[in-house]
Amino acid sequence: MPRPSFRTQVAVCVCWLLLPLAGCVREHSLLEAAAAGQLGGVDDAGAAGQGQAGSSGGVVGGGGNAGVLTPPWTQSSCVSSLASGKTGDRCMETFKCTATVDCCEIIAFCDGKALDIANNCSVCPMKCSADLDCGAKALCENYQCRSCPTDPCPDTWSAVLRNGCSVCMPPNQCKIDGDPICGALSCVPGLSCWPGCKSDPACCFGNRCVDPNCASLEALDCLVVGCAAGSFCKVNGPANECKCEPSSGNFVCSGNSNNTCVAF
């Protein structure tokens, strides 16, 4: 089924790409907001209209330029042109504004003579909640699909099969909370977990038996506990030794580790 045109979209999405869970917040109809003067804008020089600008250049809830929905377009009616303008319309001044609709960015640009409307539909990354959402031989990491990893596993790690991909995982000391192997200690989940796993040693790797006061392993070497979704352990040497200090609930380590988690 073909994608509806921007003029028939019923919701404006503002994408927040820097949050752990990238997504779109539905606001008002682009056409209705423009007609009501509820959209402001920011030109390419950063000159704001009457609304409060967002990072994309389009804004919701501003004063806008109510009723100005026909050419010639000007800087003050730039955001209205996103809904009602078309490439080739007359325009005045040099300006640029943008908004996002259904994970597509629509851009209006004026060179002082003619308006240019362009679409960019790669604003939002491909989202997923499980590996199966990504198809065969692909992984869902931090709600984004990625291809199978190809880097060799660290010597102390083992490869597990995940959606047709060979994935490196750190070894476990224990498998469930209350595991007899831990004795009086707690089985604390490592940082390498299956998609959707909520810090549960049953679905995480790098689990360690530690004092109950040290409930997080984030301070430990990633060669031992792995890395959170969306990153991998870049190994540059042996893991440093760390021990739990029950009185403070922190780990005390022998030195700084050269192994760090880096984003894919």
Tokens coding 7: 């003029």
Determine the 3-state secondary structure of 150 from DSSP: coil
- Do residues 60 and 67 lie in contact, with contact meaning Cβ atoms separated by under 8 Å? no
In a domain, 187, yes or no: yes
Distance CA 179, CA 75 (A): 66
Distance CA 190, CA 210 (A): 11
Which has the minimum average pLDDT: 30-34, 71-75, 203-207? 30-34
In this prediction, residue 206 has a pLDDT band, given cuts at 50, 70 and 90, of very high
Predicted model pTM: 0.52
Give the per-residue pLDDT at 11.
34
Sign of the CA dihedral running 134, 137, 140, 144: negative
Residue finishing a domain among 104, 120, 136: 120
In a domain, 129, yes or no: no
Same domain, 68 and 29: yes
Sign of the CA dihedral running 136, 141, 144, 149: negative
Give the per-residue pLDDT at 134.
87
Distance CA 120, CA 135 (A): 24
Mean pLDDT value across the chain:
74
Q: Please check the confidence at residue 37 and state whether its pLDDT lies above 80.
A: no
In a domain, 159, yes or no: yes
Same domain, 103 and 187: no
Q: Please check the confidence at residue 257 and state whether its pLDDT lies above 50.
A: yes
In a domain, 145, yes or no: no
Hey, how many other C-beta atoms are within 10 angstroms of the C-beta on 21?
A: 8
In this prediction, residue 98 has a pLDDT band, given cuts at 50, 70 and 90, of confident
Residues of the domain holding 113 = 6-120
In a domain, 127, yes or no: no
**Residues with Cβ < 8 Å from 96, sequence gap 6 or more?**
43, 44, 57, 78, 107, 108, 109, 110
Same domain, 186 and 243: yes
Give the per-residue pLDDT at 185.
93
Same domain, 19 and 115: yes
In a domain, 136, yes or no: no
Query: What's the structural domain count of the chain?
Result: 2
Which has the minimum average pLDDT: 48-62, 150-164, 244-258? 48-62
